Amino acid sequence: MSPQQAERRAAELRTLLHHHAHRYYVLDAPEIPDAEYDRLFAELQAIEEAHPALRTPDSPTQRVLGRVLEGLAPVRHVVPMLSIQTETDTTAAGAAAFDARVRRELELPADAPPVEYAAELKFDGLAISLRYEAGVLVLGATRGDGETGEDVTQNLRTIGQVPLRLDTPHPPPVLEVRGEVYMRRDHFERLNERQRARGERTYINPRNTAAGAVRQLDPAMTASRPLSFFAYGVGDVRGWTFLDRPAPTHGELLDALAALGLPVSGERRVVRGAEGLVAFHRDIEARRDALPFDIDGVVYKVNSLELQRRLGFKTREPRWAVAHKYPAQEQVTVLRGIDVQVGRTGKLTPVAKLEPVFVGGTTVSNATLHNVFELRRKGVRIGDRVIVRRAGDVIPEVVGRVVNGAPGTPARPRHPYVPNFHMPRRCPVCGSDVLREKGGIDHRCTGGLFCAAQRKQALLHFAGRRAMDIEGLGDKLVDQLVDGGLIRTLPELYKLGVGKLAALDRMADRSAANLVAALEKSKKTTLARFLYALGIRHVGEATAKDLARHFGAMDRIMAAGVDELLEVNDVGPVVAASIHAFFAQPHNREVVEQLRAAGITWDEHEGAAAAAGAAALPLAGKTLVLTGTLPTLSRDEAKELIEAAGGKVAGSVSKKTHYVVAGSEAGSKLDRARELGVPVLDEAGLRQLLAGGVS
């Protein structure tokens, strides 16, 4: 490629990549798959490596930079980044008070038309300024003290929503965009989940995490954090034709920024008078928890830029804008005690019992501590003053302790830290043993079928299609059965009669009779299905089949030690320990016996472990293919019988296929079997094969 061709292609690739990055990060409407974007990106990288002079500041390859900065250089703002006045009255009256002040400052008579306002969200992040010269990002800075901030250009380049170049063929000579870097709640939660999995400290809140990421000395560290950006205003502007139009407004300014490729929040509105402000405040407050990011209020701005100039500033705050706060989402309170909650899957979670505190618009007296290791990492003890956070739909959590009584200051661990809470050894609900898997962080109740906290989950799993396949036993019915005290253990399912069921909500005689029939039908099952239905931790369908093949009988599985369980195909130490712990609980063994007594049966065999070898199973090493509809067996039932006999069921016929089992309406698989000379069996032939009568 000649230098001229390289220059043209690099320009084409930059334009393409900027377009697709805008579609992906800002519009959330990608036009090409990630792999195609990566291919274009790699092509541009290769051209720039071969021709370093073609590497421009706005190139997409310059987003993620590995150079560690020696320090954050100061940046003096041409137009100061001033704060706006805060309205501390969190009720709707605060909006009306701002409107009254504006009308008074403008000397409007009582009968004058309502003032028009631009109403926006007050993002809970870090204010930054982006300076574009001739459409290219040349400088990014923090607010700092309003007069002087810090140069974080390298870090801001790593944020996908920050355009490196404005999307216009005629950019203004200078456009300084003001906005907020923030972190979405779901991204924050995933980040903390990764931290917990690594055994590292978790972050207190999205705002602090975003601010810390922007001010990192290593841009690669910033790039590893999932940051986002919204534009909400401008600073230094030179030669922007938008401002030359007659009577420009703030709402139109935001539209113009969006047209340049800058992300602007859609949660904004132009309203009139105090009534419009109050309505916006109430609407956002009602939907605050559903927003994907944190806000701590809303912002009102006089919409007319001309009126903004007339109103001017008071000291360091504009008279034409105000931040109307909502109740704080972090507060300090006292940790009075710690209870343990048992979840639907048996996980034990320590729950903080707090001195009640008003946070995030509600009174909070309980908050999660996640797990005992998280509690210790935060250095929290009963009796401490702690920081409590409530944001959105996230369960309130204790994020740290207060140091030396200074409100809002994150805790530093005590040296040494001595906890005054320990996870119980027995489940507080059912008294079963509490275990923590080796290398894991969660403690779990081993009660399983017996534990009341796990009852609904156990019933739903037991009735699942891949388990006992009890048609008609769904979530709402299980809720009624458990909440009404009709079911306390799994065996009680089989004692339900039409009368009791028909008396439940949305149940009639026919529905009740159908469920009783489904329960009766489920009594004839397979050992593998029954094992899977018990809901033993780590025992999925495949493991249940392996256990059934290996041992052949339920009693042998229940009696197996860890070493014997480790002999089963694909069963490792964690799975073996889980199975052994489950059957070591007397009440779990009792549930199994009661289910047997209720009439549940399955076929058993000698098992691979007790036989002379795996070849003792009639279909050991054999591959079968099923096609068509069999007279009495469903496809799943036939597959389970074959797998229990040591065979494998494949989806297509090949030279390695040993048998094809064909029913009515068999299709191309039967034709393929005949073409290859593969033996074909009907259902009777399959049963004979399972009994060892065909070789």
Average pLDDT over residues 71-99: 86
Nearest one of 442, 431, 288 to 362, comparing CA atoms = 288
Give percent of the chain with pLDDT exceeding 70: 91
Average pLDDT over residues 338-345: 87
* Residue with the larger pLDDT of the pair 315 and 490: 490
- What's at 669, amino acid-wise? K
CA dist 382 to 278, 359, 386, Å?
42, 20, 10
Average pLDDT over residues 394-404: 75
CA–CA separation, 311 vs 102, rounded Å?
8
Q: Helix, strand, coil: what percent of the chain each, to 5?
A: 40, 20, 40
H/E segment holding residue 49: helix 34-50
- 164 contacts 130 by C-beta, under 8 angstroms: no
* pLDDT given for residue 412 in this prediction: 53
253-278, pLDDT tens digit by residue? 999 999 999 999 999 999 999 999 99
* pLDDT given for residue 289 in this prediction: 79
Residue 406 pLDDT class (50, 70, 90 cuts) = very low
* pLDDT given for residue 415 in this prediction: 60
497-507, pLDDT tens digit by residue? 999 899 998 88
Active site residues: 122
Residue 151: pLDDT above 70?
Answer: yes
Count of C-beta atoms within a 10 Å radius of residue 694: 14
CA–CA separation, 98 vs 323, rounded Å?
10
616-639, pLDDT tens digit by residue? 678 887 899 999 999 988 888 888
Q: Domain spanning 85-325 has what CATH number?
A: 3.30.470.30
- Token code pair at residue 519: 């329960």
H/E segment holding residue 298: strand 295-302
Phi, psi of 234 (to 5 degrees): -135, 160
With a threshold of 0.75, does the pTM exceed it?
Answer: no
Residue 658 pLDDT class (50, 70, 90 cuts) = very high
H/E segment holding residue 624: strand 623-627
* Residue with the larger pLDDT of the pair 621 and 69: 621
* pLDDT given for residue 407 in this prediction: 40
Q: Which CATH superfamily is domain 330-401 in?
A: Nucleic acid-binding proteins (2.40.50.140)
Residue 660: pLDDT above 70?
Answer: yes
Average pLDDT over residues 425-440: 88
- Class of 3-62 per CATH? mainly alpha
* pLDDT given for residue 34 in this prediction: 56
* Residue with the larger pLDDT of the pair 87 and 242: 242
- 107 contacts 171 by C-beta, under 8 angstroms: no
Top-confidence range, 61-75, 175-189, 380-394: 175-189
Residue 218 pLDDT class (50, 70, 90 cuts) = confident
Residue 315 pLDDT class (50, 70, 90 cuts) = low
CA dist 122 to 180, 181, 182, 267, 586, Å?
9, 12, 11, 10, 57
Residue 558 pLDDT class (50, 70, 90 cuts) = very high
Fold annotation for 429-612: DNA polymerase; domain 1 (1.10.150)
129-141, pLDDT tens digit by residue? 999 999 999 999 9
Q: Which CATH superfamily is domain 618-690 in?
A: BRCT domain (3.40.50.10190)
* pLDDT given for residue 290 in this prediction: 85
Nearest one of 2, 10, 74, 82 to 40, comparing CA atoms = 10
Q: Tell me whether strands 330-342 and 321-325 are parallel, antiparallel or unpaired.
A: unpaired
Average pLDDT over residues 282-288: 90
- 400 contacts 377 by C-beta, under 8 angstroms: no
Nearest one of 348, 140, 136 to 231, comparing CA atoms = 140
- 340 contacts 350 by C-beta, under 8 angstroms: yes
- Token code pair at residue 607: 């098992």
Residue 496: partners with Cβ closer than 8 Å, 6 or more residues away:
481, 486, 487, 515, 516, 519
What residue ranges do the domains of the chain occupy? 3-62, 85-325, 330-401, 429-612, 618-690
Nearest one of 398, 392, 396 to 186, comparing CA atoms = 392
Please state, rounded to an integer, the average pLDDT across all residues of the chain: 86
| C-alpha gyration radius of the chain | 33
DSSP string, 331-361: EEEEEEEEEEEE-TTSEEEEEEEEEEEEETT
* Residue with the larger pLDDT of the pair 611 and 640: 640
Residue 110: pLDDT above 80?
Answer: yes
* pLDDT given for residue 67 in this prediction: 41
Environment class of residue 243 by beta-carbon count within 10 Å: exposed (0-12), middle (13-18) or buried (19+)? Answer: middle
SS3 667: coil
Residue 16: pLDDT above 90?
Answer: no
- Token code pair at residue 320: 């034409």
H/E segment holding residue 21: helix 3-21
